[in-house]
């Protein structure tokens, strides 16, 4: 008998909370037991709940929280191969292995992300242009299917199911073990260079140039700036330092509650943007920073997403081939200026049939939720589709099903794989139903 | 170098047991013996402890409901242990009170694990510790054992028995310098309470583990976890029986 707790949950953006029943298995035997009680709307494995939209929700259905499946099961100090359970967080792996000279090859923008979630969304980091997505470094996975079989998947082992599971948003089953190659690093310190750039064209040129030379690169755009300063921002590039620099203590700041109004956010985020813009020194020299501080700038304000108040916020993230598509998108946001804008050069696509990534430019923008935000997102989605781009499903809550085939060209193969592995639709999510992923 | 020591955790697959093993490994770098029935799960935890904390960890099968096996279990455990031994007993089951009322044999199964099994294995282990002239014993009871609550008195009874047993065991082992610590937790956020209506305020097992370790190392006789349950239970214990009988909680 499985204990189910009724919970109300929203994605990271705090928009559209839904009610669902949750189990929280602490061991594999308990996980197996949940398969016998799928409920009417199927089951969904969920990680840390860092997906912005509804990828990690199964409204009216049941979810399996993986956070207590949190053990590291193997580490080979020769090859760097680490095996772990899905509930181990990215931050946990980094905290443990960084001092030993190893790092996850792909690190998303928050350390809270679980390894299971990192595989299921095939996440990318600031080094995507160099090393690809998370799934590119996975040696094998164990997948628990709806019939209770654990299947070991890899590039050469049930390759079609492996490709459907990487970036597969939990639709193939529960990832119960992940084997991933860690990357050797010379220190726990990054040499970080920040350059202020006054216009979008210059920013794109600078980001392209830095991406060709540095391991890590990303640009923060000032969302409040309009023509002629449209797209002004800061290009941040970094490489591992050969030696450790004295660590700078950072104290986390916690947002203990959801403030009543979302008024605070624009102010706080404006300050965040402002600080980014003005904190950049005139000297063009790289400065040492702790790797964690570089990877997770937002984690310093624990619970910053709550600052948006009860209405929450939405994130738009697309990738487009041609940089020319970016300016019209930024201009489309004149009425609702984004609180955070991040641009990243991407190179190549992931291994998964539904992986996010094409060679081009990834633009992410946060917007406080409001009456007109949905319409704006629809418009941005249309622009993305016209530019033959993709919307990142891990961030999405607003896209319509019609856009999906054009953006994800391997959708038919994905649906085919789902037909094979899960003909009874045992795995479902709110996103799954919204985007009509049904095989 | 720190003197060798070994922590034996019975019920190590429990939410609190895993957290306690990690806490001990992180703070004391002691050898850890994980005991329970789900050997597959315990092996995973042992691996995790070795990788994360570089400690020596091993698994020994233990079924509280099979007291005939406990002598052998105690012998094997003491053979495998190094240095000072700390025995921690955490195994327990908690069938719902209404289920017990419908099917009273569940009460017997529960007492078998929570109390009878605990007594048999702890008596065997106490003999071994006496022979070694040292060690520590930690027994996890519950605030539920302090009064017979309408909503949970079957489980409460098993824990009340365990409390009395532990008190006596402490008196027996004291002359040998073996300290016995009784832990009485309030609600903890583990599988035991997941899905129960009143589980909102449950304590994170990692924090519970920290408190258990501190209480043990300080040689406390009894420790409520978190400490706030001390005064609360003092007040609840003072409610006269005539009134308590009428309460529905
Ligand atoms: C502040 C912040 C910064 C971010 N930065 C980045 C970034 O830089 N790059 C990037 O790519 N993403 C980024 N993200 C998004 C995040 O990496 C993804 O949403 C990721 O999937 C979240 O993982 P999670 O553990 O929180 O999973 P959840 O959000 O709980 O779930 C995400 C998906 O994974 C599936 N899933 C989770 N665990 C399992 C499992 N064990 N088996 C099968 N399926 C599973 C779920 O079903 C769901 O479809 C960021 C998010 C935040 C909040
Ligand atoms: N959770 C709470 O709110 C709470 C409050 C107060 C006190 N406590 C006490 O704290 C302790 C740990 O609780 P928890 O919440 O962490 O429990 P849990 O996660 O439910 O784990 C229960 C443990 O008991 C073990 N067990 C059950 N039957 C057994 C048997 N026949 N032989 C050996 N072991 C057996 C299980 O091991 P296997 O099944 O793997 O063998 C498991 O390790 C228990 O003593 C509990 O009574 C808990």
pLDDT at A310: 86
The separation between CA B192 and the C-alpha centre of its own chain, rounded to angstroms, equals: 13
Between the CA of residue A306 and those of A56, A301, A311, A355, what are the distances in Å? 18, 10, 9, 29
Domain for residue A298, yes or no? yes
Is the distance from CB of A369 to CB of A315 less than 8 angstroms?
A: no
Tell me the C-alpha distance between B162 and B160, whole Å.
5
Q: ipTM, 2 decimals?
A: 0.95
pLDDT at A223: 87
Is the distance from CB of B171 to CB of B182 less than 8 angstroms?
A: no
Preceding peptide of A228 cis, ω within 30° = yes
Query: Does any ligand 1 atom lie closer than 6 A to the CB of residue A346?
Result: no
Domain for residue A54, yes or no? no
CB contact (8 A) between residue B48 and residue A73: yes
- The crossing angle, in degrees rounded to 10, of helices B118-132 and B153-173 is 20
pTM > 0.90: yes
Give tens-digit pLDDT for A212-247.
999 999 999 988 888 889 999 999 999 999 998 775
For chain A, the farthest-separated pair of C-alpha atoms sits apart, in whole angstroms, at 64
SS3 A169: coil
pLDDT at A279: 65
Structurally, at CATH architecture level, domain B5-244 sits in: 3-Layer(aba) Sandwich (3.40)
Number of structural domains found in chain A: 1
The pair of structure tokens assigned to A356 is 């996010």
The H or E element that residue A140 is part of is: strand A138-144
DSSP state of B94: -
Q: Which domain holds residue A291?
A: 189-241+261-398
Task: Kindly give the number of the ligand 1 atom that is closest to the alpha carbon of A427.
Answer: 47
- Please report which residue ranges of A336-396 form alpha helices under DSSP H: 373-386
Between the CA of residue A335 and those of A221, A306, A375, A391, what are the distances in Å? 17, 23, 11, 22
Tell me the C-alpha distance between A117 and A101, whole Å.
24
Cβ neighbour number for residue B34 with a 10 Å cutoff = 27
Residue A253 dihedral angles phi and psi, to the nearest 5°: -115, 130
* Residue-level pLDDT, tens digit, chain A, 439 residues: 899 999 999 999 999 899 999 999 999 999 999 999 998 999 999 999 999 999 999 999 999 999 999 999 999 999 999 999 999 999 999 999 999 999 999 999 999 999 999 999 999 999 999 999 999 999 999 999 999 999 999 999 999 999 999 999 999 999 999 999 999 999 999 999 999 999 999 999 999 999 999 999 999 998 888 888 999 999 999 999 999 877 555 555 565 555 544 555 666 666 666 666 666 665 578 899 999 999 998 888 888 888 888 889 999 999 999 999 999 999 999 888 898 999 999 999 999 999 999 999 999 999 999 889 999 999 999 999 999 999 999 999 999 999 999 999 999 999 999 999 999 999 999 999 999 998 7
Is A177's Cβ below 8 Å from some Cβ in B? no
Q: What residue's CA is closest to ligand 1, atom 50? A: A109
CA of B178 to the centre of ligand 2 (A): 24
Three-state secondary structure readout of A75-87: ECCCCCEEEECCC
Domain residue limits, chain B:
5-244
Preceding peptide of B131 cis, ω within 30° = no
DSSP code per residue over A184-220: E-S-SEEEEEEEEESSHHHHHHHHHHHHHH-SEEEEE
**What are the respective helix, strand and coil percentages of chain A, to the nearest 5?**
30, 25, 45
From the CA of A80, how many Å to the nearest CA of chain B? 13
CATH number of the domain to which A392 belongs? 3.40.462.20
The pair of structure tokens assigned to A433 is 């139903």
Tell me the C-alpha distance between A308 and A291, whole Å.
28
**What are the respective helix, strand and coil percentages of chain B, to the nearest 5?**
55, 15, 30
Whether the per-residue pLDDT at B124 is higher than 80: the answer is yes
Domain for residue A391, yes or no? yes
Is the distance from CB of A243 to CB of A314 less than 8 angstroms?
A: no
Ligand 1 pocket test target in A41, A50, A272, A395 with most atoms within 8 Å of CB:
A50
Whether the per-residue pLDDT at B177 is higher than 70: the answer is yes
pLDDT at A298: 86
pLDDT at A246: 74
DSSP state of A120: H
pLDDT at A346: 98
Is A71's Cβ below 8 Å from some Cβ in B? yes
Give tens-digit pLDDT for B55-99.
999 999 999 999 999 999 999 999 999 999 999 999 999 999 999
């Amino acid at each position: 008998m499985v204990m189910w707790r009724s919970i109300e949950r929203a994605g990271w953006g705090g928009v559209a909370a839904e009610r669902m029943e949750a189990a929280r298995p602490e061991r594999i035997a308990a996980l197996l037991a949940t398969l016998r009680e799928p409920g009417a709307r199927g089951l969904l494995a969920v990680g840390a709940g860092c997906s912005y939209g509804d990828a990690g929700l199964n409204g009216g259905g049941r979810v399996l929280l993986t956070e207590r499946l949190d053990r590291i099961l193997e580490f080979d100090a020769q090859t760097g191969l680490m095996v772990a359970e899905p509930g181990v967080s990215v931050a946990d792996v980094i905290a443990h292995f960084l001092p030993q000279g190893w790092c996850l090859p792909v690190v998303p923008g928050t350390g809270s992300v679980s390894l299971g979630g990192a595989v299921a969304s095939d996440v990318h980091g600031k080094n995507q242009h160099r090393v690809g997505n998370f799934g590119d470094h996975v040696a094998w996975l164990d997948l628990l299917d709806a019939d209770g079989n654990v299947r070991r998947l890899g590039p050469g082992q049930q390759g079609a199911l492996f490709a459907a599971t990487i970036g597969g948003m939990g639709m193939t089953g529960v990832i119960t073990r992940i084997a991933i190659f860690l990357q050797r690093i010379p220190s726990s310190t990054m040499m970080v260079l920040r350059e202020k750039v006054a216009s979008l064209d210059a920013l794109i040129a600078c980001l392209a140039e830095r991406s060709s030379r540095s391991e890590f690169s990303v640009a923060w755009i000032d969302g409040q700036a309009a023509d002629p300063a449209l797209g002004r921002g800061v290009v941040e590039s970094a490489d591992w330092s050969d030696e450790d620099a004295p660590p700078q203590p950072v104290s986390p700041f916690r947002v203990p509650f959801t403030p009543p109004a979302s008024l605070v956010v624009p102010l706080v985020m404006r300050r965040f943007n402002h600080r980014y813009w003005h904190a950049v020194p005139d000297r063009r020299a790289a400065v040492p920073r702790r790797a964690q501080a570089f990877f997770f700038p937002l984690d310093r304000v624990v619970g910053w997403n709550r600052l948006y108040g009860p209405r929450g916020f939405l994130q738009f993230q697309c990738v487009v081939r041609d940089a020319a598509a970016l300016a019209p998108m930024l201009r489309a946001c004149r009425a609702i200026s984004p609180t955070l804008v991040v641009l990243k050069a991407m190179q190549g696509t992931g291994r998964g049939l539904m992986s996010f990534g094409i060679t081009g430019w990834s633009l992410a923008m946060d917007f406080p939720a409001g009456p007109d935000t949905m319409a704006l997102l629809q418009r941005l989605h249309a622009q993305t589709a016209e530019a033959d781009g993709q919307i990142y499903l891990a961030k999405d809550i607003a896209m319509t099903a019609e856009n999906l085939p054009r953006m994800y060209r391997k959708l038919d193969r994905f649906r085919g794989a789902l037909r094979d592995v899960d003909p009874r639709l045992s795995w479902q999510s709110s996103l799954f139903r919204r985007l009509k992923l049904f095989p | 170098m720190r003197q060798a020591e070994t922590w034996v955790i019975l019920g190590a697959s429990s939410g609190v047991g895993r957290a306690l093993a990690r806490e001990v490994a992180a703070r004391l770098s002691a050898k850890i013996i994980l005991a329970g029935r789900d050997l597959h799960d315990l092996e995973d935890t042992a691996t995790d402890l070795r990788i994360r904390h570089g400690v020596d960890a091993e698994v020994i099968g233990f079924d509280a409901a099979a007291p005939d096996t406990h002598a052998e279990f105690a012998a094997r455990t003491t053979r495998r242990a190094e240095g000072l031994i700390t025995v921690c007993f955490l195994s327990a089951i908690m069938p719902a009170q209404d289920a017990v009322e419908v099917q009273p044999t569940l009460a017997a199964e529960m007492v078998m694990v929570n109390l009878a099994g605990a007594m048999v294995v702890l008596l065997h282990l106490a003999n071994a510790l006496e022979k070694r002239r040292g060690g520590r014993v930690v027994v996890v009871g519950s605030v539920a054992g302090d009064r017979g609550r309408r909503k949970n008195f079957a489980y409460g009874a098993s824990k009340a028995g365990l409390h009395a047993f532990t008190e006596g065991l402490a008196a027996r082992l004291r002359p040998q310098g073996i300290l016995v610590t009784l832990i009485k937790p309030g609600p903890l956020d583990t599988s035991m309470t997941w899905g129960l209506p009143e589980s909102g305020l449950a304590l994170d097992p990692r924090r519970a583990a920290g408190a258990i370790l501190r209480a043990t190392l300080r040689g406390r006789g009894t420790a409520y976890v978190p400490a706030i349950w001390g005064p609360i239970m003092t007040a609840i214990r003072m409610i006269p029986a005539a009134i308590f009988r009428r309460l529905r909680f």
